[in-house]
Each structure stands twice: as C-alpha cells, then as structure tokens.
Amino acid sequence: MHKGTGKRMLLLGAYSMEVVECGGALLKNAKNGGVSHAAIAFAGEQMQQDLRRSAEILQTSVEFLGLDTGKICASYEEKLAIIRVIREFRPDIILTQDTEHCVTDLDPGRRPFMTLVLEAIALAGRPYALDELPGLAPWGGAVIYFMTPEHPNCVVDIFDVWKEKCAAMDALHAQLIHFGKRDGETPEQLARRKSLVPDWEALPDDLARGTQMKREMDKAFYLYPYSTGHCPAVYAEPYRREGCFVFDALEN
C-alpha cells in the first residue's frame, strides 16, 4: 500500500490483543490516508482501558460489543450488532480471525464468534433487517483477510511501524502480566521461558517480565518469514486473503 492509497479497514476481533496483532496493517492504512476501526467482542474493563491506549498508538478507533464468551451463539441479536458495525463503517477491507486456527484455539467463544462474523458479513450486504437497523443501507463486497492464519498467502511489511506495534503491545498490561507469570507452570517450564529473557531475575515484577517475554515472542513470530530466506520483509504480518487475487497483469 502506497502513500495516499488508504482504505476503510475494519477489524472484527474476538479479543483485544487482536488489534495489536493486526496493528501493523491498521497503522499503515491510517498513515496512508485511510481510516482504521476495530470492533471487539470480548473485553473486560481493564482490557478496554489498555486497548484504548494501544489503539491510540495505532491510530485506530475502537468499540466494544460486550458479548459473553460463554453465551455467544450467533443469535439474531448478535448478528444485528455486527451488521450494524459493518453498515455504519462501510469497510473496503475486513480483518478477522482465521477460520482454521479458531477451531483448535481453546480461547472460549472463538468458534461461535467465527460463525457469527461470517454470517453477519454475508447478511450485511443483503436487504436484511432494514427495519431493525433504520438508515443503514446494505454494505457488502469488502475484501476479507484472515489474521495470523494457519496457512498465510500474503504478508504485510511492517518494518516501518514495528516500534509503534511494539509500543501498542506494551500498553496491554492486563494481558502481559500473564506472560510474566503462568499458573501451574513447572520449574522446568519456567526455566526454559526465563532463558529467553537474559535479565529476567533483575526485572521488578510480572508485568516487566511479561512485557519482555512477549517482545521476544513477537520478534520471533514476525521475523519468521524473513528468516527462511524466501521473504524480503524483515518484519511481516501474515494474512490469508479470502477468494482470488485478481490482477490486470502479472506483477513483480
């Protein structure tokens, strides 16, 4: 994406950290003149506060849908909530969780959320629930990208926004504490994790340790495509675009 080619980019996320996981694409879109927005299904009060700080760094507006991880069932009311977001924002691009990865990811709510998102995207572009959502015309045709997929088919070069992406992750204090201290961890498991952060013992608390641990994890993940020698992007956010890539001509 080049200067002045920004789009209306919408992230439909299950959890708050997904905004940062897609932060490179969202921030680059905003810097290129586009508008980036995120709607998050599940977020407690602390995560909402943290994410607002992260989203400001990523130049992305954010709203919270207030869904329940244990009760979500792709109900009529839940579909209307997602349809409303889509029709109000009218995105060119939608980012959301990977349809394959969510099946075996044991975060609660991910599987019904995937069904909910796909159904809402499909219904948003049809003359559905027009009386229930007055003034919001159907909106469809957005290109869909699945985030951190099991089988990516494209990446976004995030080298120029890597520092902002890291700063946005550093702001998610409620999440990072869990990377610093994991309940039920054996001494051997802890020793292996500590080996990844050279100054582990000198760090003052679980938040500081978790912040450094997540930084090491992210660096390894986003460097991986480059480390194989087959991708020119040093830091790369992986995505899987839904459907065909259509070109006027083959490009290098």
pLDDT of residue 240: 97
Element (H, E) at 39: strand 35-42
pLDDT of residue 10: 98
Closest CA to 48 of 167, 172, 138, 161: 172
Domains and CATH numbers, the chain: 8-155 (3.40.50.10320), 166-232 (no CATH)
At residue 24, the 3 state secondary structure works out as helix
Tokens representing 145? 């990208």
Q: How many helices (H) and strands (E) does the chain have?
A: 10, 7
pLDDT of residue 182: 86
- Listed as ranges, residues in the chain with pLDDT below 50 are 1
pLDDT of residue 251: 80
pTM, to two decimals: 0.95
pLDDT digits (tens, 9 = 90+) for 184-202: 899 999 999 999 998 999 9
Beta bridge partners of 219: none
8 Å CB contact between 73 and 112: yes
pLDDT of residue 6: 81
Residue 39 and residue 202: Cα distance in Å, rounded?
Answer: 38
Element (H, E) at 36: strand 35-42
pLDDT of residue 4: 55
